[in-house]
Structure 1
């Protein structure tokens, strides 16, 4: 048989018959505690000469028999007492009709579930699958295996009883989406995943785009012995790039990037002159570095004053364009540089997690940073895989990489196209062939481009209460069943529905505790206000005030006409 029997498999109920849909069946049970939504049960069926255990997931439950309402109306009198007076067993009076969605039996050869489409016989027993059985078949990997990510345990069992372990190969190659309302634990869960990626059995090359500065606490990974391998000396590295260290080489910008960064009100005529300058520059200096002032010179070279009475002068348009360009690019604090940028080899290396903190960068500049970075990564991986990259050059990236994008709806918003949207779509559709993985994290799935979301083949979906976001998830996420998605509003912090290619079948998961400290905790405002009035805080304020106080200058009193001043 494909799934081993276990002594803790327990009888759960009896098959009633088929459900409303072809892959559903109903069974009757008196066990209210075990027959929970999200739980796994099975029935036995013969498939040729083989006996199979056909696993299924409980999706609905309905009370079909209960004590009379009058027995339940008086809270002071236990219903069991009233039923005993007339000879009824009140403890076993309730009966439930349970709807099960058939998954199939697990094939070791295929490493996946197979649905033989053999319906259960009415009256056949239904068993609650043991924790050992579920541990063997729900996850494609075991915790600690190469390519595994132990993110939590099955929600319907005791914590840690049935581990939920993702396949890193499938998550990275076919992309990931972590979706949740604010405060549901999406960044916490992303931190758990990064911890797993940095473990000795994975040693991944990870980049996190962090618009809020929540991931700097991952730095403690470097000093934690649990992430090291004494055998070969492996020790993960975490690099944090704050906004002042992030530079984008100007020649890596496209014409669309430059136009996107110009302020509103830039006329079509100005954009025409910019296009002409950009094309001239890229045509003549295709394989050379060039900077902002080179582009500025090309724009200025188009300036034509015209004759004394001529109306053909373009001076005002050119001057207006130059002013707009200078305001954006000719600033001392500009993140755009003629020569500097962060080398890909410095950001990506197996066993290294790099965090780009974009919290002090304008949103449109954040989008350009992400667009240029993803273009560089994708181009380098394509060139490397095809053998076209020069060894040691910035175009050589010899290993697969994984990039996590927090606030993903900023970089691929629904209903509009920003500079980062197209490269994201390209990587999501083609990155699998070249080893470029993307993870999208957002608290507003409804604001994320649905084409982008639908190409993430593994989904971690946490509590979502907004109806628009729920509808977006239902339309874009194919792996999770509608009934499981109905559970999203009822999930509490740290609980998730995980579906897609990263697991063998959709599961409800309790996310494990993080090893590193979470950097996105909500401030406890009342506690901070109360702290202000503590004796220690008052003493600190007095000490600070004393240091800042200036000693008054002692001046000799002067008299003018007998008056002291």
Structure 2
């Protein structure tokens, strides 16, 4: 009423109102503190159950702290009050610093629990060839593959699957060579009239050349029988980092597509009681964090990982398959994918297209919230969605582990290069860019001095 006294809400009142959980409570993720109060005064704590089951999006411009924030979240998920099964898809190799969590007593439990970290470097990553669909193989073929070649590829796939079914192979285990043989058989036709068709033969030979150039290589990640076991990638109390930094983008998309298909199938079959053992048995919920998510579900482009991401984001809640998306360009991310993320951590975003994308795809992103985005500084975020009781301006807490995505200080590095210590080190190592000691004049070939 007019004339009533108004009091500033206490920190305790704000904590109860803003956060669904208390710090260090089972299922909590202490992500930071309320920006409008002193650091640490009003903790902002997310509900891990809601974040994981209904999916997460971390959206920010370059250098705003999105990877740092993801690291804070991982620390909370691996703490003794959560012990989550987490996989990070890392296209740039910047999450290796999380290795310091391994055995860190800061995260320990009274029962002796200590978190684990497992890093798969590019040379250790394998995809079993039989886990690829014909769509995956078509996607990996170079540009210029004709419709006729793709027709023969589909025919070979169908014939191979029918033969394996007739032989009673339930898991359809086969190698690249098996598929190649089925393709090559088509050169001879089904009867004498088909044999010798020059057009067919040249198309099939062209298809075989394209297949060999992709799959018949010593450094190929596609293997006849080896692959990454789901129970090794996902285990409660472990964060697994899939370092894809030396793998080309098309192969990265196929790796993510096949992996997510496998884990979704395993969780569906296990939940329905149709798998009690084997590689399709996974009896606990899992969470996958995709860095540079716009690579795996780009807007306006058809890639093999987009379809399975859409399926998991719309249905994964029922089967315990959680997804976290991290991107610096929301406008380049498939809007159906982004709109399914029910918890959002939004940091500084200046690009008007990205702001408009957030407004259209993120529930609860009101006009007043969007007006704050350009003014946020590094480490500040707007958190909204089901993981918190109400949208809140948050100051992300300091990380316990070292951050692996720091921006280089270029002027400092240049000055360091000219320091006496670095000059002496280069001299000792006989660096090739040192000034020659001889006074020999440069040779001249034509008009070129060397």
Q: Which residue of 1 aligns with 2:220?
A: 334
Contact 1:248 1:341 in 2 (8 A): yes
Q: Which residue of 1 aligns with 2:65?
A: 185
The reply on whether 1:429 has 2:314 as its aligned counterpart is yes
The reply on whether 1:354 has 2:240 as its aligned counterpart is yes
| 1:298 counterpart SS class | helix
Higher relative contact order at CA 8 Å, sep ≥6: structure 1 or structure 2? 2
| 1:128 counterpart SS class | coil
Contact 2:145 2:207 in 1 (8 A): yes
Q: Which residue of 2 aligns with 1:363?
A: 249
Name structure 2 gaps, 5 residues minimum.
435-450
| 2:430 counterpart SS class | helix
Q: Matches of residues 240-259 of structure 1 in structure 2 within 5 Å?
A: 240-259=119-138
Deviations 1:455-501 (A, max 9, x none): 00000000000000000001111123320221000000000000000
Contact 1:249 1:338 in 2 (8 A): yes
Deviations 1:270-301 (A, max 9, x none): 00000000111122225231010000000000
Name structure 1 gaps, 5 residues minimum.
1-120, 550-565
Q: Which residue of 2 aligns with 1:387?
A: 273
Partner of residue 422 from structure 2, selected from 526, 537, 541: 537
Partner of residue 139 from structure 2, selected from 260, 285, 307: 260
Deviations 1:527-550 (A, max 9, x none): 111111222212221222299x9x
Q: Which residue of 1 aligns with 2:443?
A: none
Change over 3 Å in CA distance of 1:293–1:492 after alignment to 2: same
Q: Which residue of 2 aligns with 1:317?
A: 203
- Paired residue total: 426
Q: Distance in 2 between matches of 1:491 and 1:228?
A: 34
Q: Distance in 2 between matches of 1:122 and 1:330?
A: 80
Deviations 1:32-59 (A, max 9, x none): xxxxxxxxxxxxxxxxxxxxxxxxxxxx
Partner of residue 200 from structure 1, selected from 61, 65, 80: 80
Q: Which residue of 2 aligns with 1:414?
A: 299
Change over 3 Å in CA distance of 1:309–1:461 after alignment to 2: closer
Change over 3 Å in CA distance of 1:275–1:343 after alignment to 2: same
TM-fit CA distance, 1:207: 0.1
Q: Give the strand-richer structure, 1 or 2.
A: 1
Q: Distance in 2 between matches of 1:311 and 1:377?
A: 44
Q: Which residue of 2 aligns with 1:465?
A: 350
Deviations 1:193-223 (A, max 9, x none): 0000000000000000000011000000014
Q: Give the helix-richer structure, 1 or 2.
A: 2
Contact 1:304 1:314 in 2 (8 A): no
Q: Matches of residues 94-109 of structure 1 in structure 2 within 5 Å?
A: none
Deviations 1:350-394 (A, max 9, x none): 000000000111101100000000000000000100111132x11
Q: Distance in 2 between matches of 1:308 and 1:302?
A: 9
Q: Which residue of 1 aligns with 2:117?
A: 238
Q: Which range moves more in the overlay, 204-213 or 304-313?
A: 304-313
TM-fit CA distance, 1:508: 0.1
Q: Which residue of 1 aligns with 2:162?
A: 283
Q: Distance in 1 between matches of 2:163 and 2:268?
A: 25
Contact 1:480 1:500 in 2 (8 A): no
Change over 3 Å in CA distance of 1:205–1:479 after alignment to 2: same
Q: Matches of residues 164-179 of structure 1 in structure 2 within 5 Å?
A: 164-179=44-59
TM-score (norm 1): 0.73
TM-fit CA distance, 1:405: 0.2
| 1:303 counterpart SS class | helix
Contact 2:188 2:195 in 1 (8 A): no
TM-fit CA distance, 1:524: 1.2
The reply on whether 1:404 has 2:284 as its aligned counterpart is no
Q: Which of 1 and 2 has greater Rg? A: 1
Note the aligned Cα RMSD (angstroms).
Answer: 1.8
